[in-house]
Structure 1
Amino acid sequence: MHLLFATSIVPDGALASGYEIANAAIIDALRRAGVRVTVIGFIWPGKAPSDPQNTIVLDAVEVRTESASPLQKLVWLGKAVLSGLTFSSVKLRVVPDTEVRDAIERAGPFDGYVLNSVQFAGAFEKVLAGRPFVFVAHNVEHRSAEENAAAAGGAFQRWMFRREARLLKVMEERLCGAARFVFTLADEDRLALGIASDRRSAVLPLVTRAQVSAGKAQRPIDCDAALIGTWTWQPNRIGLDWFLTRVVPHLKPDFRIRIAGSMPSGVTSAHPGVSFVGRVPDAQAFVRGAAVIPLISTAGSGVQLKTIETFELGLPSVATSRSLRGIGYRPDNCVVTDDPIAFAAALQAAAANVRDVDGSTFHRRQLTALDTAIGLGLEQLGAVRQEVAA
């Protein structure tokens, strides 16, 4: 079976975001199942695809809103309003439909698409019509947009997110209705998207790396807690605001917290132990230097890749219940609470008595379940191919 994996950003090997980590895990699982996968999409400026022989790059694009100029944001907004597309999809409209169609034809004979999230599918929906496909819903995007609207600080931002939510809801309904099978990253997302039947969908339990070491490795600890993420992404920002305003004030003054990653303006903390360290050269080494990992998601859908990575590494954690969506197995060194005072107390207790576990057990469970779920979707596409051949 030959499938075209249609995605907004093609893999470049950097795995700099949760989205890219998830894509790598899904593509690897498809290939383990014997599928020939050709990836088609755009690439970050200055990057090269990690698998050029099996990748079709349409163009280089910079689609991150936080790094765009005010003029660029206005251009995107104007194009979105005029075209009726979402803000996220219109950013990809840098090449015409004819160019995308020609690139697809050059890929040679193939059996169907894997439409990876709504951005690319929404930008080139007409081009992608006419072939069977499975849809990967990384999140319930319209729900995330609704939460972003509720948390927005100004009327214009609220209007933008509400518009995005309205369009995304229609797009997700259309994709889920037309797909031969839908993959989500959390079980609750199947219900939210109206495809909870096992004949229509399955959850993909993800991994962040192909292999993990068995056992508990020795590690130097140089801070009490560490967080890393793209905090400019609104659902992450909502969780960070909750942590800094509701949890951190209950921590002792000498509790040391390091926060890495892209940070929006205006994020501060009066706690003397909080340090914002920006980009770090090695994300895994950074989190392994902490006694405990706070998993602080309070918004969004899909799965939290930082939770999966923490469990794979066997690190102690304190998690909100929202941080565990899509996770079927929780190690016993993870404490779960949504109460800010209890969250702070659990962080201090975990940092005072560091207890790592063997993360390979969690990783094996995830990998086995991922391969099983991928097989279910491929069965549906295979059935379609047999119908066509008959």
Structure 2
Amino acid sequence: MRLIFVSSLVPGTAPEDGYEIANHAIVEGLRRAGARVTALGFISPGATPSDPEETALLGEVIIRTSDATAGMKLRWLATAALRGTTVSSAKLRVVTRETIRRELARLEPYDGLILNGVWLAGAFEEVFTARPYVFIAHNAEHVSARQNAARVESRVERILFRREARYLAELEERLCANAAFVLTLSDDDRHSLNVARDDRALSLPLVMPVAADMPGRSARTFDVGLIGSWIQVPNRIGLEWFLREVVPRLDAEVSIAVAGRTPRELSSDDPRVAMLGRVENARAFMRDCRVIALASRVGTGVQLKTIETFELGLPAVATRSSLRGISSVPANVEKADDAMAFAAALTRQIQGQRAGRVADLDGTGFRAAQLRRMDDVLRIAMDRLEAATRDREVPSGPRAGQATLRGP
């Protein structure tokens, strides 16, 4: 089966955030299932496709708002207002519909499309929904936008997030309704997107693209470690909560390290906290910490750093939000949602690590279970796509905006 993987960012050689890591994992999963997969989309400036022979590049584009100039942000907003679309899709309107159609024609023959997220699919919806497709919802984006609107302090940001939420809700409804099958990354998102029935959608477990080796750990530099892309609003909210509410409740001798890109205005003057910025080797950093704090407070989809922590077998304390999309939590992980309980759990885990009562685990079992389920779900989705391709009677497919459900 030949599939076109339509993604705002194609898989690159050095993925930097959860979305890019998930793209790698999904493409490799489709290939394990026997599909030939060609990625179609953009790439970040200076990046390189991981599989150039199976990549159709539309050009370079800056996706992250934090990397954009003020002029770029204004152009994105103007395009979104003019086109009646989301700002995130407007970022990708740097090529024409005709360019997309030419690329798709050049890639013929193929059996169907994998629409990986809403951004590129939403920018050229009428083109990409003209053929049978599977829609992969990395998040329930309209829910995330609503959560962001409720938590940001800037009135302008709040208005923009509310606008995004409104447009995203309509876009996600159409993409789900017209899909041969829908994959989400958590069961909660199936309900948020109104595709909770198993014959319409399934939750797709993920694994890290590269399995972890399992070297022993000796000395630890830090008691508590956090790692992520903190420039993203949902992640930033979790980090701010941790620094403001949890850290003051920890013992004075506890050492804390935060790795990953942070907004310029986000810092800590607590001497126990080291803000390290981007680290070269994420796994080496995580292994250098006694306990990983998984402190997500909002968001949808799945937390890739949670999956990586569990694959590495590291002790952790996790909020309920950090465990989205995880069906089996390892024995050396404690759950806590309020700041006092989270701090107390961290203290127990740190003391247990120091005394040898809390140990690292072999994470290969967790990874193997995730991988089996992932492959099963992808096989089901491909079967539904193949059936939709066979049953397709009108080559042009449903018009963008039609909410015509395909039968299971």
Same fold (TM over 0.5): yes
Which of 348, 363, 388 is the aligned partner of 2:367?
Answer: 363
For the residue of structure 1 that corresponds to 2:88, the secondary structure is: helix
Residue type of the partner of 1:370?
M
Q: Is the 8 A contact 1:113 1:134 kept in 2?
A: yes
C-alpha displacement of 1:265: 2.5
Instruction: Name 1:166's counterpart in structure 2.
Output: 166
Counterparts of residues 45-84 of structure 1 (less than 5 Å): 45-84=45-84
The equivalences for 1:1-390 within 5 A come to: 1-213=1-213, 217-354=216-353, 355-388=359-392
Which residue of 1 is the match for residue 405 of structure 2? Answer: none
Query: Normalised by the size of structure 2, how large is the TM-score?
Result: 0.93
Counterpart code for 1:68: A
Q: Is the 8 A contact 1:216 1:357 kept in 2?
A: no
**For 1:387 and 1:167, how far apart are their aligned partners in 2?**
31
What CA distance in whole angstroms lies between the structure 2 residues aligned with 1:211 and 1:245? 34
Please state how far the C-alpha of 1:386 moved relative to its aligned partner.
Answer: 3.1
Which digits, 9 at most, give the CA deviation of each residue in 1:269-320, with x for residues without a partner? Answer: 3432011111111111111100000001110000010100000000000000
Is contact 1:133-1:179 (8 Å) kept?
yes
CA RMSD of aligned residues (A): 1.3
Q: Which runs of 5+ in 1 are unaligned?
A: none
* TM superposition score normalised by structure 1: 0.97
In 2, Cα distance between equivalents of 1:220 and 1:181: 48
* Separation of aligned partners in 1, 2:95 and 2:223: 48
Listed as ranges, the gaps of 5+ residues in structure 2 are 354-358, 394-408
Aligned 8 A contact 1:254 1:272 in 2 = no
Q: CA–CA distance in 2 between the matches of 1:216 and 1:288?
A: 9
Secondary structure of 1:291's counterpart equals strand
Q: CA deviation at 1:216?
A: 6.4
- Secondary structure of the 2:382 match is helix
Cα distance in 1 between the residues matched to 2:209 and 2:2: 24
Q: Structure 1 residues 128-137 or 379-388, which shifts more? A: 379-388
Partner-residue secondary structure (3-state), 1:268? coil
Structure 1: distance between partners of 2:223 and 2:294: 14
> What is the Cα deviation at residue 388 of structure 1?
4.5
Structure 2 CA distance for aligned equivalents of residues 305 and 386 of structure 1:
35
Q: For 1:311 and 1:168, locate their aligned partners in 2 and report how far apart those are by CA, in whole Å.
A: 32
Q: Which amino acid in structure 1 is aligned with residue 230 of structure 2?
A: W
Higher mean displacement: 133-142 or 219-228: 219-228
Is this contact kept in 2: 1:253–1:271, CA < 8 A?
no
Shift of 1:219: 4.2
Contact 1:219–1:288 (Cα < 8 Å) also in 2: no
Choose 66-75 or 231-240, whichever is displaced more. 66-75
Deviations 1:56-106 (A, max 9, x none): 001011121112111211111111111111010000111111111111111
CA 1:284–1:212: 2 relative to 1, 3 Å: closer
Match of 2:399 in 1: none
- Identical-residue share of aligned pairs (%): 49
Contact 2:117 2:135 in 1 (8 A): yes
Amino acid in the other structure paired with 2:386: G
* Residue aligned with 2:297, SS: coil
Counterpart secondary structure, 1:353: helix
Q: Specify the SS of the correspondent of 1:3.
A: strand
The one-letter amino acid paired with 1:326 is G
CA distance in 2 between partners of 1:220 and 1:92 (Å): 46
Q: Distance in 1 between matches of 2:209 and 2:31?
A: 15
Q: Distance in 2 between matches of 1:388 and 1:95?
A: 29
Distance (Å, rounded) in 1 between the aligned partners of 2:8 and 2:261? 21
Counterpart AA for 1:120:
L
User: 1:114–1:135: 8 Å Cα contact kept in structure 2?
Assistant: yes
Distance 1:388 1:177 in 2: 16
Distance 2:98 2:160 in 1: 30
Question: Is the Cα contact below 8 Å between 2:13 and 2:47 reproduced in 1?
Answer: no
Inter-partner Cα distance in structure 2 for 1:157 and 1:42: 26
Residue 218 of structure 1: how far off its partner (Å): 2.9
**Would the aligned equivalents of 2:7 and 2:39 in 1 still touch at CA under 8 Å?**
yes
